[in-house]
């Protein structure tokens, strides 16, 4: 990329003064996120039916998806029947999560649930090199009941297990999922940011149509997928 648009050049003292002013706002956001997390911990919850999903080894009760843990994060992956390449946004987002064992220390697990039939879902997982555990809700109303119906969008849902009883504690979708990944967190640190047309950027900053810089599912498969999958 070549561009003539550059931030203004100043002396170190001026730069530090501008950074310190921005830091006040950044710290305010951090405190607000702490307050939001505290409110999240105080949310009520909803008891869930005893759903049965499909896993790699056959049917599995929702309570057993926890694999003995008390907390579960579910990413509801978009699925388009008959398509070789599924949603690039979902594919790219979930490809970030390759080391999830640390959640064991917090008595938690993070999995993918999709509307696709389990055989097709697992084949796609291998094709794009995804390392998370996948389940299918193709034969269950689970996806539709948690904001990710057939033909619908993606979502994140969080659940709490008490014995064999499962409760839904939190949900988000759309840009609400951004906070869970590191891609945009890193890109937003860059001087040119995401370089998408909707962003508020200085005059002359490089900008492209939304999504145009995102990796496609084929690119992700080429980088991470199993050969011949």
Look up the CATH number of the domain holding residue 165: 3.40.30.10
The answer to whether residue 15 sits within a structural domain is: no
Q: Which domain holds residue 131?
A: 31-228
At 25-36, the pLDDT tens digits run 999 999 999 999
In-domain check, residue 10: no
Question: How many distinct structural domains can be found in the chain?
Answer: 1
Question: Is 39 among the domain residues?
Answer: yes
Question: Does residue 17 fall inside a structural domain?
Answer: no
The residues with which 46 forms a beta bridge, in sequence order, are 168
137 belongs to a structural domain: yes
Q: How far apart are CA 224 and CA 226, in angstroms?
A: 7
Entry pTM: 0.93
What number is the average pLDDT over the span 107-121?
A: 97
pLDDT at 4: 75
CB of 126 within 8 A of CB of 118?
no
Domain contains 167: yes
* pLDDT band at residue 3 using 50, 70 and 90 as cut-offs: low
Q: Is residue 166 part of a domain?
A: yes
């Amino acid at each position: 990329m070549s561009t003539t648009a550059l931030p203004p050049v100043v002396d170190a003292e001026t730069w530090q003064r501008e950074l310190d002013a921005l830091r006040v706002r950044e710290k305010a956001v951090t405190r607000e996120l702490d307050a939001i997390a505290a409110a999240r911990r105080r949310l009520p919850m909803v008891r869930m039916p005893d759903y049965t999903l499909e896993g790699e080894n056959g049917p599995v009760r929702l309570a057993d998806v926890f694999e003995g843990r008390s907390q579960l994060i579910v990413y509801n992956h978009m699925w388009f029947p008959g398509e070789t390449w599924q949603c690039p946004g979902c594919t790219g987002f979930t490809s970030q999560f390759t080391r999830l064992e640390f959640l064991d220390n917090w008595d938690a697990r993070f999995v993918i649930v999709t509307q696709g039939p389990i055989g097709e879902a697992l084949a796609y997982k291998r094709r794009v090199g995804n390392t998370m555990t996948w389940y299918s809700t193709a034969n269950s109303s689970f996806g539709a009941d948690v904001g990710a119906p057939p033909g619908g969008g993606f979502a994140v849902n969080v659940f709490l297990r008490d014995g064999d009883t499962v409760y839904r504690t939190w949900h988000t979708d759309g840009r609400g999922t951004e906070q869970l990944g590191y891609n945009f967190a890193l890109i937003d640190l860059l001087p040119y940011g995401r370089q998408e047309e909707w962003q508020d950027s200085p005059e002359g900053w490089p900008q492209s149509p939304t999504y145009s810089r995102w990796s496609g599912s084929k690119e992700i498969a080429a980088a991470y997928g199993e050969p011949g999958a």
